[in-house]
């Protein structure tokens, strides 16, 4: 096991747990926020397991997802917008719990949690199918076009899955105001996809043919 990579992964994982926890519980002014703990559990427990699997079976994939920084300006803007969405969304959810703005029935967070976990399984399948996945836009040495499995249905299954994951989060937290903030994500991800496809079509052999073969980018029969 690569001890340096393991240490980096654990440090970033714990930092993520602390950061999200502060965003959720500080504005709520209490740790007695059951939906907050529910989201923390279904978000970070599978993430920890996935990290251990990548550490053992594909450390290069884990490394690429930990330390990469975007060079494309459009993608830097996308990251900033996504970050703002999460900050304001989680802060609103905590405030919502504190002041009781939303009164959602119990089945909504439960159903959203089930949907979230199903999307997490699809995310794991995307990682299994495509060993070239990275957090940044670019072409890796020896990279080939993946056009089977979920990639035979839409060109960007990872983004399709994150769409479900992120829209589920405010519902798990039981917050309508937070949900309205997270509705910005589809527009953000469309911006990322358009820029990513420009880069891949230019730099990855066979990608233009793949774009003709698989018509839809994100959602079958829609876009």
Residue 222 lies in a domain: no
Quote the crossing angle between the two packed helices 73-99 and 3-28, to the nearest 10°.
Answer: 40
Domain tally, the chain: 1
Q: Tell me how far apart the alpha carbons of residues 174 and 190 are, in angstroms, rounded to a whole number.
A: 26
- CA-only gyration radius of the chain, Å: 18
Tell me: the pLDDT tens digits for 50-83? 888 778 777 777 776 665 566 666 677 888 898 9
Q: Tell me how far apart the alpha carbons of residues 186 and 193 are, in angstroms, rounded to a whole number.
A: 10
Residue 77 confidence (pLDDT): 80
Domain range for 193 is 3-213
Tell me: the pLDDT tens digits for 177-211? 999 999 999 988 988 898 888 888 888 888 899 99
Residue 178 lies in a domain: yes
Residue 46 lies in a domain: yes
Residue 180 lies in a domain: yes
132 pLDDT higher than 70: no
Higher per-residue confidence, 85 vs 62: 85
Residue 7 lies in a domain: yes
| Mean pLDDT rounded to a whole number for the chain | 87
Which of 36-50, 140-154, 188-202 ranks highest by mean pLDDT?
36-50
For residue 61, what are the CA distances in angstroms to 1, 53, 64? 14, 11, 5
111: domain CATH number is 1.20.120.1630
Assess contact for 207 and 196: CB atoms under 8 A: no
- Residue 180 is encoded by which pair of tokens? 């309205």
Our separate counts of H helices and E strands in the chain read 9, 0
What is the mean predicted confidence (pLDDT) over 160-172? 95
Give 24's pLDDT tier (boundaries 50, 70, 90): very high
Residue 172 lies in a domain: yes
Higher per-residue confidence, 131 vs 214: 214
Assess contact for 138 and 199: CB atoms under 8 A: yes
137 pLDDT higher than 80: no
Assess contact for 156 and 217: CB atoms under 8 A: yes
Residue 166 confidence (pLDDT): 94
Assess contact for 179 and 170: CB atoms under 8 A: yes
Residue 223 lies in a domain: no
Q: Tell me how far apart the alpha carbons of residues 146 and 148 are, in angstroms, rounded to a whole number.
A: 6
- Within a 13 Å sphere around the CA of 201, how many CA atoms are in the beta-carbon half? 11
Residue 200 confidence (pLDDT): 87
Residue 73 confidence (pLDDT): 67
Residue 17 lies in a domain: yes
């Amino acid at each position: 096991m690569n001890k340096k990579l393991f240490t980096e992964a654990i440090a970033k994982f714990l930092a993520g747990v602390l950061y999200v926890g502060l965003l959720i519980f500080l504005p709520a002014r209490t740790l007695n926020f059951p939906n907050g703990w529910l989201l923390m559990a279904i978000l970070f427990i599978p993430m920890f397991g996935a990290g251990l699997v990548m550490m053992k079976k594909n450390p290069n994939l884990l490394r690429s997802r930990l330390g990469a920084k975007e060079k494309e300006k459009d993608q830097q803007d996308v990251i900033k917008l996504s970050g703002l969405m999460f900050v304001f969304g989680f802060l609103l959810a905590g405030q919502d719990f504190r002041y009781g703005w939303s009164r959602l029935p119990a089945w909504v967070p439960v159903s959203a949690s089930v949907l979230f976990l199903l999307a997490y399984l699809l995310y794991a399948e995307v990682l299994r199918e495509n060993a070239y996945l990275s957090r940044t836009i670019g072409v890796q040495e020896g990279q080939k076009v993946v056009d089977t499995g979920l990639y035979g249905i839409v060109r960007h299954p990872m983004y399709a899955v994150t769409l479900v994951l992120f829209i589920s989060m405010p519902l798990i937290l039981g917050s309508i105001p937070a949900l309205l903030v997270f509705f910005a994500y589809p527009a953000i991800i469309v911006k990322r996809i358009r820029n990513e496809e420009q880069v891949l079509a230019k730099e990855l052999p066979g990608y233009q043919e793949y774009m003709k073969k698989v018509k839809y980018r994100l959602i079958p029969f829609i876009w």
